[in-house]
Structure 1
Amino acid sequence: MAQSGYSDVAVTTSPIRAERWAWGICWLMFASTVLNYMDRQSIALVGPMIQKEFKLSFADFGWVLASFQLSYAVFQVPAGYLVDRWNVRWAYAGAVAFWSLAGMAAAFAPSLAILMVLRALLGVGESFNWPCGLRANAMILPPADRGLGNGIFNSGAAVGAVLTPLVVPILAAKYGWRTAFIVVGLLGFLWVGVWLVALSGQRRDVFAGRSGAKPPPVDDLSENTSGLSSQAIVGFGSVVVTATLVSLTAFRFGLPAIWWGITVLMVGLLLAALLLPMQSLKGADWAQSLGEIVRLRRFWILVLVSVSINVCWHFLVNWLPSFLINDRGMKYLAGGLFSTLPFLAADVGNIGGGALSSFLARRGMNAVKARILVISLCTLLITGGALVGSVSSNILALILIAFMAMGTAAFMANFFAFVQEVSPRHTGLVAGILGGLGNLFAAGFHPVVGWAKDTTGSFAVLFVIVGLIPYVGLGALVLGWGSQSGEVESS
């Protein structure tokens, strides 16, 4: 396990120009993201079969989707904290093995409750993917190349969303939905072997934090293991107790109470860290790290960005097959096949959006301004999705959704570059918190999607919402970020 100080040095002393092998690692992390999305998206493509087998409404199926995303949201925060301190090579390998096993186990679920538990465990393992990937990219790529590096890594989401409809519906139609889960899960163990072999020798040392630079003085590491102050214990403890009590009301008010309980926990801990005096947080490294992050104004800006763009992206990933089958009248296999087209466009957006901001930065434009310009163009593309419910042509609807997916993916590639600049010392934790909050609200949106579909019989109004919500994130960046990379501002 690497010392936290060594990891920080590795980030802050990244090379001026990326070495060739570093781009190869980016593509290997692209492959892990492909598998990540294949494991998580399989359930969306076999959703009609699961709904039929367990007699579920669309709102009920929304909670099945949320079972994955809620655990994914919660565990991104500890995942980010741990990735900042662990050897990324082993953390990444362990995470992929864990989520692959959970995905395979879902194939043997005898009941809906056990299926939801296993989907939640899948979320625990997959929560490490983005903190690991962003941390690794920050260690091996210079700032000017991170937009492109993140685009390569993140484009695995779109490619996974393309490949899954080409594989899962065919397996499910012929052998049943459970077989599809087994096949996809097995691929993860193959990746683990390749990853461990690829990161050997000198490359292994870089990911362990042994980059040749001397560690900072002990004082700079801010390590204090004497324990939290009584004031901090009361503050954080009050949040935990309140969240637990809210969650326990699930016995009376159902699954929404669990979502509210998790929301109270995640948001409450952040607000407690912000309101408590910094001195009271110095008894534990995790508390001090959290306190440092929430005092950065740019962190709160990215909270708005993460929530807005994650709601948009996860709506497309999880509900597009159902929209094509139920609103557009496509057959099961046809709906799965045509759902690949928008995600092909998203793959173009991931690479193209990252490459465009890198191109503009290398031609003299300020890196922040280049990213915001690209994100502005992306938001315009996403807006076209608001018209999907009002067009009668299936072809035109798919074109609009394709532009929407392309814009969303390119937006996210550049958003991740901002994430890496909030606090280089805490890259994994920042990524974990932002990803967790984004997925928390995306999880809460799934039952709303199902309810709206059950109530109105259409997904039209939902496309309007997800087509316009990215303007919240864009506005926050334009108004609040500032023009200089690496600039640290307090809230």
Structure 2
Amino acid sequence: MTASADPNPLHRSATWKWTICGLLLLASAINYMDRQTLANAAVRITKEFRLSQEQYGHIEAVFAYSFAAGSIVFGWLADRFSVRWLYAIVLTMWSLAGLATGFVHNEQELLWCRMALGFFEAGHWPCGIRTTRALLDARERSFGNSVLQSGTSVGAIITPLIMSGLMTAELGSWRTAFQVVGITGFAWLILWFALVKKSDLPAPVRLNEALDKDGEASLWSLIFSRRMLIIFAVIACINTTWQILRAWLPKILQEGRGYSEAETLWFTSAWYIATDVGCLGAGALAVWLGRRKMSVHAARVIVFAGCGALCASCGLTPWLEHGWILLTVFMLAGAGALGVFPLYHAFTQDLSGRHQGKITGIAGVVAWVLPAQAQQFFGRLADRTHSFDQGLILASCLPLLAVLPLWLFWENKSDSATAS
């Protein structure tokens, strides 16, 4: 199916459009700052609340299930209401959930906060992806999505440094870091309302009449289409790998490889720099290849495969000694693990303009249900084997497997979609 073009209500300059993409990057950064506080304080929290690896995996699973539920809710809302207001609401609510986490006293309270955080953080992606689709054409979207996605790394780079400065020798000092990070989101709201006017991102229902005239497929036909089934398979694979690495890397380094908390925090920050390079590089490379007489689809698949191969290198880490080679492989794998996401988002943007939010939300359910199960399985396997190695090997190969349906079954039509 060829994606139909959105009517473009914007009469702004290219500079303004990319400035808004930069603002989306900041939203992604705040999203991940609130999310990554738990992973960076995981060893302290599991000690204070006396959690097993499987119990920690359960906390991550609760976040994932809540994210899946929020994906459906906010995916529908993003197609119904202006994201100018919806974005502000979800960012406010997840910031409050992150702030509240700094006041919890037991595992149950922590679970409730993570549930709320996951639910409202899910709204970031339908809002962000709908915005980049509205601003950019198909050839630009891979890089626009890279800017949006790379904010996750920016936030994750900053968070360990903040926590390193705020956490003291006192076990419970992690709470201050959660409170400080939770407050940062409110500054973004000022910039958002200052730069984005009501007329810039009108409610999508105002666009539906024009889209209906183009004969765009119904939501149900899209959900059961071949391309949507491929999207489900791809996001289940790539998000499982990313969420395992994101949530468990500090524990793998400290409890599995003997690195200190300080060493882990500094390396985690460096690791996210590598993921950011991979994310921006993947989008830029796809755009460059697409402008060299290569189809947009072929460019995306080739870059996706390269990122998958980098990620698969993480499967070598169980046989590597403590040292710089081990850490370098982790960084390469991280670059590949995040680099696939802007390409994935670009594929979803080819499906529909009218139903973009719902497509993102429905795919988000699939994206988070499997990782929720995988988090618990990873923790259970680590408890059983007293090692993170087996789970890491299994997770590292999934992005490379995700290349196959994109390559074999995507049914690439003409590149008329590149103008949409």
Short-chain TM bin: over 0.9
Q: Retained in 2: the 8 A contact 1:421–1:486? A: no
Whole-Å Cα distance in 2 between the matches of residues 147 and 445 of structure 1?
28
Deviates more, 1:300-309 or 1:377-386: 377-386
Structure 2 residue aligned with 1:301, among 225, 230, 247? 230
Whole-Å Cα distance in 2 between the matches of residues 416 and 480 of structure 1?
17
Q: Retained in 1: the 8 A contact 2:80–2:203? A: no
Matched, 1:371 2:300: yes
Q: Partner amino acid for 1:88?
A: V
Structure 2 residue aligned with 1:316, among 245, 253, 273? 245
- Superposition deviation, residue 178 in structure 1: 1.0
Q: Partner amino acid for 1:189?
A: F
Q: Retained in 1: the 8 A contact 2:6–2:211? A: no
- The aligned residue for residue 202 of structure 2 is 208
- The aligned residue for residue 192 of structure 1 is 189
- The aligned residue for residue 179 of structure 1 is 176
- The aligned residue for residue 367 of structure 2 is 438
Structure 1 residue aligned with 2:42, among 36, 39, 47? 47
Mark the runs of 5 or more structure 2 residues left unpaired by the alignment.
none
Whole-Å Cα distance in 2 between the matches of residues 334 and 373 of structure 1?
35
Structure 1 residue aligned with 2:309, among 380, 402, 407? 380
Structure 2 residue aligned with 1:410, among 320, 335, 339? 339
Whole-Å Cα distance in 2 between the matches of residues 439 and 102 of structure 1?
19
- Superposition deviation, residue 289 in structure 1: 5.6
- Superposition deviation, residue 170 in structure 1: 3.0
Q: Deviations over 1:427-464 (max 9, x none)?
A: 11111111221122111111111111111111111221
- Superposition deviation, residue 219 in structure 1: 6.7
- Superposition deviation, residue 172 in structure 1: 2.5
- The aligned residue for residue 329 of structure 1 is 258
Deviates more, 1:186-195 or 1:288-297: 288-297
Whole-Å Cα distance in 2 between the matches of residues 138 and 214 of structure 1?
13
Change (3 A) 1:475 1:321: same
- The within-5 A match list for 1:50-449 is 50-173=45-168, 176-200=173-197, 204-209=198-203, 216=209, 290-449=219-378
Q: Deviations over 1:84-137 (max 9, x none)?
A: 111011111111001001111111223211210111001111001111110000
Q: Deviations over 1:372-401 (max 9, x none)?
A: 011111111111110011111321111111
Whole-Å Cα distance in 1 between the matches of residues 118 and 208 of structure 2?
34
Structure 2 residue aligned with 1:36, among 31, 35, 41? 31
Whole-Å Cα distance in 2 between the matches of residues 379 and 413 of structure 1?
13
With normalisation by structure 2, the TM-score equals: 0.92
- The aligned residue for residue 401 of structure 2 is 472
Q: CA RMSD in A?
A: 2.5
Whole-Å Cα distance in 1 between the matches of residues 381 and 31 of structure 2?
28
| Greater RCO (Cα-Cα under 8 Å, separation 6 or more) | 2
Q: Partner amino acid for 1:178?
A: R
Give the number of the structure whose alpha-carbon radius of gyration is greater: 1
Deviates more, 1:301-310 or 1:331-340: 331-340
Mark the runs of 5 or more structure 1 residues left unpaired by the alignment.
1-7, 223-287
Whole-Å Cα distance in 2 between the matches of residues 446 and 10 of structure 1?
39
Deviates more, 1:451-460 or 1:182-191: 451-460
SS in 2 for 1:425: coil
- The aligned residue for residue 256 of structure 1 is none
- The within-5 A match list for 1:453-468 is 453-468=382-397
Q: Retained in 2: the 8 A contact 1:18–1:145? A: no
Q: Retained in 1: the 8 A contact 2:296–2:415? A: no
Whole-Å Cα distance in 1 between the matches of residues 372 and 168 of structure 2?
28
Q: Retained in 2: the 8 A contact 1:421–1:485? A: no
Q: Partner amino acid for 2:166?
A: L
- Superposition deviation, residue 293 in structure 1: 2.4
SS in 2 for 1:339: helix
Q: Retained in 1: the 8 A contact 2:241–2:337? A: yes
Change (3 A) 1:88 1:155: same
With normalisation by structure 1, the TM-score equals: 0.79
Q: Retained in 1: the 8 A contact 2:34–2:178? A: yes
Whole-Å Cα distance in 2 between the matches of residues 218 and 368 of structure 1?
23
Change (3 A) 1:207 1:173: same
Change (3 A) 1:81 1:193: same
Q: Partner amino acid for 1:205?
A: S
Kindly tell me the number of residue pairs found equivalent between the two proteins. Answer: 412
- The aligned residue for residue 277 of structure 1 is none
Q: Retained in 1: the 8 A contact 2:23–2:192? A: yes
Q: Deviations over 1:194-247 (max 9, x none)?
A: 1111113xxx31211599x9862697599xxxxxxxxxxxxxxxxxxxxxxxxx
